[in-house]
Amino acid sequence: MASGVSIGNGSSAMLEATGIVKTFGTLKANDNVNLSVAEGEIHALLGENGAGKSTLVKMLYGSLQPDSGEIRWRGNKVSIPSPFAARHIGIGMVFQHFSLFDSLSVADNIKLSLDREFGKGDVAARARSLSVDYGLPLNPDSIVGDLSVGERQRVEIVRCLLQNPSLIILDEPTSVLTPQEADNLFVTLERLKGEGRSILYISHRLDEVKRICDRATILRHGKVVGHCDPRQETASSLATMMVGTSVAAIRRDGSSSKGEVLLELAAASMPAASPFAVALRDVSLSVRAGEVIGIAGVAGNGQSELFKMISGEETLSDNGSIKMMGKPCASIGINARRRLGASFVPEERLGHSAIPQMSLTQNMLLSRHGSDRAAFLRFGPVGLIRPDVTLRATKRVSEAMDVRKVGDDPDASSLSGGNLQKFIMGRELDRQPSVLVVNQPTWGVDAGAAARIRQALVDLARNGSAVVVISQDLDEIFEISDRITVIHDGKLSAPMTASEATLEKIGLLMGGANPGHELPPAPDVAHTDAHDRAVH
């Protein structure tokens, strides 16, 4: 190993990456990126979706190799050919999409990431004591597939800490946590920092970056566009640096005059369809014309099941437990519900709301062949597709939502996440649905597209439709909802108006606190605050 000494912007740099370039095909994911992380600091890496954050940290962790550029570790030039090498020199990582194995136990999951030197002896016992020590309780014998998202993250963190890393990379760690769980995480991070470790903290949440980070590097379109001390900045100045332009705030003017109830769930229940699915229990909700209802919740608490139940991807035997436009519809399929005037947008774009290998016109047909049969098809039962009509509809939608694409009718896979989501949203809005149910409308979407989509949702409601938005993004929930409810373990809390809802109240409900009733049974530290909480 070379023994040169770093002469960068300070001798205390633990990690220093200079001139990093990484190209995928024609996309420059990282273009001459410089990053320096000092000893004992929490360093934020800020940027929008697709700015190149994940690519950069994958190279620091050895999962990807840079095309050019150099990495220095404690002053020495190093190459990091694999995650094993990264862990060996003291770099640990906590992934956003956890790199866990559902069918294996917590102890086995931990063993798999430990290299020979750490993997000896009783891993389970060490994991247990370390997790207690850091206030991250874990049972090494449980099967990971049965754990909640927060618990899974603890497995990732404990697994990382067991190797005693000097630098810990955390990729969007709070996107799956309740605000209270996030607070606990920040306590842990402060302690780690106090132990002299450095933390590279990736996020697009500006408040928390301002709160815990010492320095920030901002990426945009693969390039570093600035460094700053986030404590000296405002959230909006950070946002402007991240996005490049200032993003328009959502207009919610106009009184939300409540009309009749268009969507009603009356104690609807649905059993779990598979071992790791969530059962929905007595879900009740009524949504009026003109309002946006936001359903908050931590991932994996029944959001996708709720979407399936309302959309009719899964039907119920009790037809009356769901009503749309006043008509019972719980046992009719998704197309019959669309014909009643409802539209649906699921969470996953690729392979659920759109088929990547198919063209946009075919994707147009995907959700609308039933509701727009008269326009899109001819010859009755033969069902001959009319390519001219679907193409016109595709053009109309693309213009209305400003979908950027190459050619008139490219494959869905060639669109960026934001543009594809705009197309999908536009496909449904084009029908002027009376009821719209959306799961995670802006997940993985750039800020410009997200703003446009949120505005469209608000506008749809203002024009007299009932809109349900299921989202894990609390900022989004607060930005567009008239009323807010929380899904936890397959149950829905009583909705509260946006003005009575606070981040704290919603966060507690997300953690499972049951207002006005007993304490939640979970041993989670985050939940203990529930006791002090004033109810209604």
Interface with another protein (CB under 8 A)? 24-25, 62-65, 82-84, 86-87, 95, 98-104, 108, 111-113, 119, 274-275, 311-313, 333-335, 338, 344, 346, 348, 351-355, 357-358, 362, 365-367, 369-370, 377, 382-385, 410-411, 413-414
State which residue, 262 or 360, has the beta carbon closest to another protein: 360
Least Cα distance to 157 among 125, 189, 181 occurs for 189
User: Could you tell me the smallest distance in angstroms from the CB atom of residue 81 to another protein?
Assistant: 9
Q: How far is Cα 465 from Cα 288, in angstroms, rounded to an integer?
A: 8
Token pair 């697709």 is at which residue?
A: 50
Strands 280-288 and 261-270: antiparallel
State which residue, 8 or 370, has the beta carbon closest to another protein: 370
User: Could you tell me the smallest distance in angstroms from the CB atom of residue 151 to another protein?
Assistant: 16
User: Could you tell me the smallest distance in angstroms from the CB atom of residue 219 to another protein?
Assistant: 19
State which residue, 193 or 386, has the beta carbon closest to another protein: 386
> Are residues 158 and 168 in contact, defined by beta-carbon separation less than 8 angstroms?
no
State which residue, 413 or 502, has the beta carbon closest to another protein: 413
Report the C-alpha dihedral over residues 495, 500, 505, 509, rounded to 10 degrees.
0
User: Could you tell me the smallest distance in angstroms from the CB atom of residue 3 to another protein?
Assistant: 26
State which residue, 193 or 369, has the beta carbon closest to another protein: 369
CA distances from 362 to 280, 353, 396, 413 (A): 33, 12, 15, 13
- Where does 379-490 have alpha helices with state H? 387-400, 417-429, 447-462, 474-480
User: Could you tell me the smallest distance in angstroms from the CB atom of residue 331 to another protein?
Assistant: 14
State which residue, 112 or 400, has the beta carbon closest to another protein: 112
Report which residue type is found at 499.
Answer: S
User: Could you tell me the smallest distance in angstroms from the CB atom of residue 421 to another protein?
Assistant: 15
User: Could you tell me the smallest distance in angstroms from the CB atom of residue 504 to another protein?
Assistant: 34
Strand partners, 198: 167
Q: How far is Cα 452 from Cα 401, in angstroms, rounded to an integer?
A: 8
User: Could you tell me the smallest distance in angstroms from the CB atom of residue 499 to another protein?
Assistant: 35
Contacts of 514 (CB under 8 A, 6+ apart): 520
Q: How far is Cα 147 from Cα 145, in angstroms, rounded to an integer?
A: 6
Query: DSSP secondary-structure letter at 319?
Result: G
Would you put residue 373 in left (φ > 0), alpha (ψ -120 to 50) or beta? alpha
State which residue, 111 or 462, has the beta carbon closest to another protein: 111
Query: DSSP secondary-structure letter at 354?
Result: B
- Where does 197-333 have alpha helices with state H? 206-212, 235-243, 303-311
Phi/psi at 147 (5° precision):
-85, 155
Q: Which two tokens stand for residue 489?
A: 């373990």
State which residue, 132 or 384, has the beta carbon closest to another protein: 384
Least Cα distance to 447 among 476, 490, 410, 405 occurs for 476
State which residue, 254 or 351, has the beta carbon closest to another protein: 351
Token pair 């990729």 is at which residue?
A: 171
User: Could you tell me the smallest distance in angstroms from the CB atom of residue 64 to another protein?
Assistant: 7
State which residue, 112 or 250, has the beta carbon closest to another protein: 112
User: Could you tell me the smallest distance in angstroms from the CB atom of residue 108 to another protein?
Assistant: 6
Query: DSSP secondary-structure letter at 102?
Result: T
Query: DSSP secondary-structure letter at 250?
Result: P
User: Could you tell me the smallest distance in angstroms from the CB atom of residue 69 to another protein?
Assistant: 16
State which residue, 286 or 414, has the beta carbon closest to another protein: 414
User: Could you tell me the smallest distance in angstroms from the CB atom of residue 401 to another protein?
Assistant: 19
State which residue, 256 or 414, has the beta carbon closest to another protein: 414
CA distances from 231 to 160, 240, 321 (A): 28, 15, 50
> Measured at the alpha carbon of residue 103, what is the angle toward residues 98 and 105, in degrees to the nearest 5?
85
Token pair 């991932």 is at which residue?
A: 299
Strands 483-488 and 491-492: antiparallel
State which residue, 23 or 286, has the beta carbon closest to another protein: 23
Helix 149-161 vs helix 123-133: crossing angle, to nearest 10: 110
Q: How far is Cα 289 from Cα 498, in angstroms, rounded to an integer?
A: 17
User: Could you tell me the smallest distance in angstroms from the CB atom of residue 18 to another protein?
Assistant: 22
Q: How far is Cα 511 from Cα 310, in angstroms, rounded to an integer?
A: 24
Distance of CA 448 to the CA centre of its chain: 17
State which residue, 146 or 190, has the beta carbon closest to another protein: 146
